[in-house]
Structure formats: structure tokens, C-alpha cells
Amino acid sequence: MRDSTIHDCNLILLPKINSAAGNITSINENIEIPFDIQRVYYLYDVPSGESRGGHAHYELEQYIIAGSGSFDVILDDGKNKKTVTLNRPNIALHIVPGLWRELDNFSSGSICMVLASLEYNENDYIRNYEAYLKIKK
């Protein structure tokens, strides 16, 4: 996780089955997502102006999808930062372990879906930015 950078994170296009009645996107473990999905969680009812995240993970790998609406993901590897706007339900952002992330600019009614490689474990979090920078040095 020490060596991971923002350049290791990219967007993937998920399949979309389109009809006059709307769209379907399905996500398969070990097909579109290259790991066993141990957990799915989603953020919703995020008040306007609030931000989420503000941490890094030692081991956890994630794909983040805007299931509805839009929001920004700010990725930071201690040297470089990039902001990725998610606003399509068939686009997923891969976040590798060891990156600081913040999510903000949530549109009203937006849903941030997260596919995670591990169950929730507080010991996998780095919640202090100064501590994070020391680990990445």
C-alpha cells in the first residue's frame, strides 16, 4: 500500500442493457470486478455541502459507483491529487489500497455505491492525514 499512487486508480465501463423501458447494469464478482466482493454498502441522504471519506485503507480495495446523481471523489497519494466526478451508474472508479480519499459535492438524492474486497474492519483505516503522509514516505 505504501507504493500505490493515484495513477493506479481508473474508471471502468460496466455493461449496460438498454431498452425503451430503461437500463440494466449487472456487476459480477471476478468478471467486471477482479476480486471477491465481500461487502456492498451505499451512502445516501448525504446533506448538501457535506463530505465523506477522509481516510485511507491498508488493505481494502473498492469500486465506487454513482448509483444515482453525482459526486466527486478526491484521490490523494501523498504526492499527487486528482478529482474524479462520478455521475453515471455504469461507470465505476477503482480505488486501490493505500490512497487517501474524500467524497464531496453530492447532488441531491445521490447514491454512492461501494463494492468492497473486505468486510468492515476499523483496524484497516488510517484516519489521520499526518499519519498517512508518514506511512507513504
* Residues recognised as catalytic: 55
Binding span for ligand TYD by CB under 6 A among 15-23, 47-55, 64-72, 80-88: 47-55
Burial class (CB in 10 A: 0-12, 13-18, 19+), 127: exposed
The candidate with the shortest Cα–Cα distance to 95, out of 67, 124, 75, is 75
- Which residues, listed in sequence order, are joined to residue 41 by a DSSP beta bridge? 114
Which C-beta is closer to ligand TYD: that of 34 or that of 44?
Answer: 44
Q: Among candidates 41, 96, 45, which has minimal Cα distance to 71?
A: 45
Please report whether residue 42 would count as binding ligand TYD according to CB under 6 A.
no
Binding range to ligand TYD, per CB under 6 A, among 24-32, 36-44, 63-71, 88-96: 36-44
Smaller CB distance to ligand TYD: residue 52 or 94?
A: 52
Among 11, 18, 23, 41, binds ligand TYD (CB under 6 A): 41
Q: Does 52 bind ligand TYD (CB under 6 A)?
A: yes
Distance CA 71, CA 84 (A): 9
Name which of 64 and 91 has its Cβ closer to ligand TYD.
64
56 binds ligand TYD (CB under 6 A): no
Could you give the residue ranges of the DSSP H alpha helices within 2-75? none
Determine how β-strand 52-57 pairs with β-strand 100-104: antiparallel
Binding positions for ligand TYD, rule: CB under 6 A: 39, 41, 43, 52-53, 55, 120
